[in-house]
Structure 1
Amino acid sequence: MTKVAFIGAGSVEFTRNVVTDLCGFTALHGQLDLMLHDIDEERLGYAEALVRRINQQTGAGARVGSSLDRQAAVEGADYVINEIQVGGYRATRTDFDIPARYGVRQTISDTIGVGGVFRGLRTIPVLMAIGEDLAKVAPDAYLLNYSNPMAMLPWAVYAGTPFARVVGMCHSVRDTHRFLAGVAGLPVSEVDFLTAGFNHQAFVLRFEHDGTDLYPRLHAAIDADPQLRRRVRVEIFRRFGYFPTESSEHGAEYVPWFMRHDDEIEHFRIPVGEYLRRSERNLDEYGETRRELESGGPLTLTPTSELASEFIHAHQTGAAREIYLNVRNDGLISNLPAECCVEVPAVVDASGPHPQPVGALPPQLAALNRTFLNVVELTVRAVLDGDRRHVHQAVLLDPNAAAVLTTRQAEAMCDELLAAHGELIPAALRQPRRPPC
């Protein structure tokens, strides 16, 4: 049996997508052992009921179980899929509300920025604890991480625990490739892409069809469409020469030029507070799934080509496929630090993932990435070193926050957030800082 453990399985819509895909692979029928874990007993119960129904409807012949004990759930696993959100909606609300009182506007707030830093501080310790568990009870497993902030979490696991078989997974590269192929009027399968950088700030380095550069076609489409020019990611492309992988609402808060200006927010249609609305919709989706399960009727099962299921299928069957993964750099991108976590193409086959070297990024892209990296690295180091000063420094160096706050305001805001999140923050970081010199 191939054991797949889900951490945070109470995120039922995500669990539904991955399990539907896994159970849809006939090559895996009769081979899957699906073990679910969550800290919320009610959500875990619904997740288990959901997975049992999917297994029954697809005839996958999987073994299904659940446990509130995380280490027991992952013991002997071949794959561990992480989908947690530490602190849930309440913590996310705090990440938006307190900075808003200081004048800091955010859209998604899960990557860098003030919200990304504090989500990292809450989540890194849990990911490290999972890494410690796996080193003890499932050392040969792959930890497939979906949680944000992606550039921080795998880095903390491979730098701070004995466990190194961790990769990050995100849809942003795949979705960007589909978008660009659509603008070019071509099937995505016919377009040759090469993309690299950090998760949520990677760039399409090669965009070709039969050896012909498609960037001139993209420029022409943008010149002909005023609405395309009202997207942040298109503005970044026009200024830096390569198309970014992240959506405009995400990308707006990684740089200093948009969020502080009312006219830019209006012009580029930036949805301030967007993640709060998405979180509320997710709560509604959970309620809909509960009602669907309780109705007793057949579930609507739609394959989604989730990256984790594709990774597992490729590794188990040897049917190699390319998947963009977040992994330790180690020279894959030669002008970024070796220890950071980068997003690059990888071939996954029976022997595992094989990240592909990219070489040096164009200097302007590496410069943007290094600005992004400052916040990521200081947040990781804050947890690994137990140094509260790094929390303040990460926010002081964050482009969006720095465009709005003075040094004193930034530190006061961080102190308020550290206090508000309480025990979700590592104990070493909850201690009051020393007075400034």
Structure 2
Amino acid sequence: MANSSHHHTVNIAYIGGGSLNWATKLMADLAQDRLLAAHVRLYDLDHDAAVRNARIGARFAEVSKGYPARYDAVRSIEEALTGADVVVVSILPGEFEDMAHDIDIPAAYGIRQAVGDTVGPGGFVRALRSIPMMVEIAEAIRKTAPKAWVCNLTNPMSALTGAMYRAFPEIRLWGECHEVTKLRHQVAWIGNRELGSERFSHRDVTVNVLGINHFTFVGSINIGSRDMMPAYRAFAQHHGNSGWAPRAQKPGDEHDHYFMDRSRVKFDLLGRFGIPAAAGDRHLAEFLPQAQYLDEHEAWDFTLTPVSYRERDRAQKRARADALAAGEGVVHAERSDEALVDQIKALLGFGDFVSNVNLPNRGQLGGVHIGAIVETNALFSASGVTPLVAGRLPDELLTIVADHADRQTAMVGAVMENRWNDLFDLFHSDPLVAPLAEAEARRMFGEMIAATSHHLPRDLVRTAA
């Protein structure tokens, strides 16, 4: 990464560069930053979407507070990766139609899913169609940019990060998720409420993260030198029955309806296991047997997000993006809640930075097999990405986490070694699927595989039929 006296050049390859969500967050973060001079190459299977985003990026560059970033849409992954210092991977594995099958087929068998992209039947089949895509990307990185730092934003995070490490063991990769930020926002709110002023942001809150992606917990909470755990426990107990949100839900707002997190599952898990849960309720619920939360999701104040809403939301985002690309509307150089630019600057040597990320377990999370993908804090510095020892979860919780981590590891191994016959038993062992009789579960698995067969290896489709 080249430096000059005025700015610090970083070449970023964005795989999935037509993104309607993460790409514009990165553009805003680069525009508000004063140190980096970024050249971002956007690669997407939908080249027109990458071209649109390059136009939007040029608008963000115009309002940059520092050195304006450059955005180019490129036609091959090799062109994007050549000379890259950092690679961002943000793809949609398949279409929303595939995700609809992931949700609707299990629903016909009585299985409820709030998200369906991480665990449960939906997360499992999404991983099956995603792993070959991520392996292809990892192999392209190995050939063209083996020393680049790689940030994966794609779900299912644990399985796909694991697959990339299996494909290219020396890859310099971390999986990035913002779910823990929700708890940090809550703690900042508690601190500000006590002071009577808006002094703290989530960036002032430090937590020790333990778990796996979307099933994360925190063993300590601090603002500066103050231990916020007692205040958080009192807050969770006070709001346990009523739930809590930072503002009132906007009437008729679909996004608020489906995504506003009232934390009642979080608060209940704290009561059950003695350690605060960090991820959002919709994700947390899917790691546990359906009877615990999903069957009574309305009573627990969270929703099951239908894919039809995601399709409407995507159409709105696409319309907004087209308008921005055409020069309409206003873009702002405002910092998002995402940590990627902070992480990049730390890797360049501009001060250490700690954040929660997904990495192979090297002992940072006790009681989980070495090599499994786990989520803990890591130190970003000029020396690289170093996982920090998080400790160990309470035994009852550790059993749940280790079970999911082992299943994810085994599923990745089975796909990458073409052991298709091993997949059904893993699928059936998930807590959401396990209550089904074997014949029923096998029929559901076959239907789900058939519905997304155009994205899957033929031998897998044949085995599941």
Fold equivalence (TM over 0.5):
yes
| CA distance 1:277–1:345, change in 2 (3 Å) | same
Shift of 1:429: 1.6
CA distance in 2, matches of 1:324, 1:223: 26
For residues 202-281 of structure 1, the aligned pairs below 5 Å read 202-208=216-222, 214-225=228-239, 226-228=241-243, 231-258=264-291, 262=295, 264-274=296-306, 276-281=308-313
Change over 3 Å in CA distance of 1:160–1:261 after alignment to 2: closer
The C-alpha deviation readout for 1:48-104, integer Å capped at 9, x for no partner, is 111122123326343331223112211221111011011121111111111111111
* Structure 1: tracts of 5 or more residues without a match: none
1:105-152 Cα distance to aligned partner (Å, 9 max, x none):
111111111111111111111111111111111011011000011111
Alignment of 1:318-333 (within 5 A): 318-333=350-365
**Where does structure 2 lack aligned partners over 5 or more consecutive residues?**
1-8, 195-199, 245-262
Structure 2 partner of 1:36: 42
Identity percentage of aligned residues: 27
Residue 208 of structure 1 deviates from its aligned partner by: 4.3
SS of the residue 1:269 aligns to: coil
Mapping for residues 6-405 of structure 1, pairs under 5 Å: 6-28=14-36, 31-58=37-64, 60-183=67-190, 185=193, 187=200, 188=202, 191-208=205-222, 214-225=228-239, 226-228=241-243, 231-258=264-291, 262=295, 264-274=296-306, 276-296=308-328, 298-403=330-435, 405=436
CA separation of 1:189/1:39 partners in 2, compared to 1, >3 Å: closer, same or farther?
A: closer
Q: Distance in 1 between matches of 2:38 and 2:182?
A: 28
CA 1:288–1:261 in structure 2 vs 1: closer, same or farther (change >3 Å)? closer
TM-score, with length taken from structure 1: 0.91
The residue matched to 1:26 in structure 2 has which SS?
coil
Alignment RMSD: 2.3
Q: Number of residues paired by the alignment?
A: 430
Take 2:42 and 2:405, find their aligned partners in 1: how far apart are those partners? 33
Q: Which of 423, 437, 449 does residue 418 from structure 1 map onto? A: 449
Given that residues 5 and 74 in structure 1 are in contact (C-alpha distance below 8 angstroms), is that contact kept between their aligned partners in structure 2?
Answer: yes
| More divergent stretch after superposition (376-385 vs 331-340) | 376-385
Distance 2:311 2:291 in 1: 23
Indicate if the aligned counterparts of 1:378 and 1:393 stay in contact, CA closer than 8 A: no
Any conservation in 2 of the 1:9–1:44 contact (CA below 8 Å)?
yes
TM-superposed deviation, 1:348: 1.0
CA shift at 1:342, angstroms? 1.0
- Please tell me whether the aligned partners of residues 373 and 405 of structure 2 are also in contact (alpha carbons under 8 angstroms): no
Task: Name the amino acid aligned to 1:407.
Answer: E
Give the 3 Å change call, closer, same or farther, for CA 317–116 of structure 1 in structure 2: same
Q: 3-state DSSP class of the match of 1:359?
A: coil
- Cα 1:265–1:214 change in 2 (3 A) is same
Deviation at 1:390, TM superposition (A): 3.0
8 Å contact kept, 2:81–2:141: yes
Residues 13, 286 of structure 1: 8 Å contact kept: no
TM-score (norm 2): 0.86
Q: Whole-Å Cα distance in 2 between the matches of residues 15 and 8 of structure 1?
A: 9
Flag the structure with higher helix content.
1
Does the 8 Å contact 1:322/1:348 carry over to 2? yes
Cα shift at 1:267: 1.4
SS for the counterpart of 1:66 is strand
State the one-letter code of the partner of 2:377: P
